Amino acid sequence: MEENNKVSVKIYGQEYTIAGNSSREHIMKVADYVNTKMHEIAKALPAGSISSLAVLSAVNVADDYFTALGMINGFKSQNEQLEKDSKHYVQLWDEAKRASSSIRRIHKPALNKRRSFRNYSMKRRSSLTKSPQLTSSWKKRMKL
């Protein structure tokens, strides 16, 4: 079980001992946040009583909490949508790979003929350029 920490803090000039299961640093950070809120409210409402400042600070802290909670829920739903989208894109990619493989298999004979013709053309062109009978005008026409 976690250790119960007791931490002395100062909030709006008053000493408090706060006990909790959280770390000392966390408790101090929370107390500092409340202290800052109290001072912010006191600047806006200088004639307010300490109890009014405390209640208004609590309302502000609750507002911050619910705003953050709303953002977290928005991020969660956005994350869920992104996960769905990525799964969909992976599925589309797999389908495209299968389709490409099928197309290659179907058209492989035609591709082989095309490659063979290209190889033959290149060999033929190469042998023609080496031929002494080929005039320079023919070389220009063939763009060699």
Q: Helix (H, G, I), strand (E, B), or coil: what is residue 8?
A: strand
Query: Within a domain: residue 51?
Result: yes
Query: Within a domain: residue 96?
Result: yes
**CA 37 – CA 129 distance, rounded (Å):** 88
Per-residue model confidence (pLDDT) at position 1: 45
Query: Within a domain: residue 137?
Result: no
pLDDT of 121 strictly over 50: yes
Task: For residue range 3-22, list pLDDT tens digits in order.
Answer: 788 999 999 999 999 999 99
What's the domain range around 39? 5-106
Query: Within a domain: residue 90?
Result: yes
Please provide the average confidence, as pLDDT, over all residues in the chain: 85
Helices (H), the chain: 24-44, 50-130, 136-142
Domain count, the chain: 1
Per-residue model confidence (pLDDT) at position 66: 98
Query: Within a domain: residue 53?
Result: yes
pLDDT of 79 strictly over 70: yes
Query: Within a domain: residue 28?
Result: yes
Per-residue model confidence (pLDDT) at position 137: 60
Q: Are 37 and 57 in contact (CB under 8 A)?
A: yes
Query: Within a domain: residue 126?
Result: no
Query: Within a domain: residue 69?
Result: yes
**CA 6 – CA 127 distance, rounded (Å):** 93
pTM given for the model: 0.59
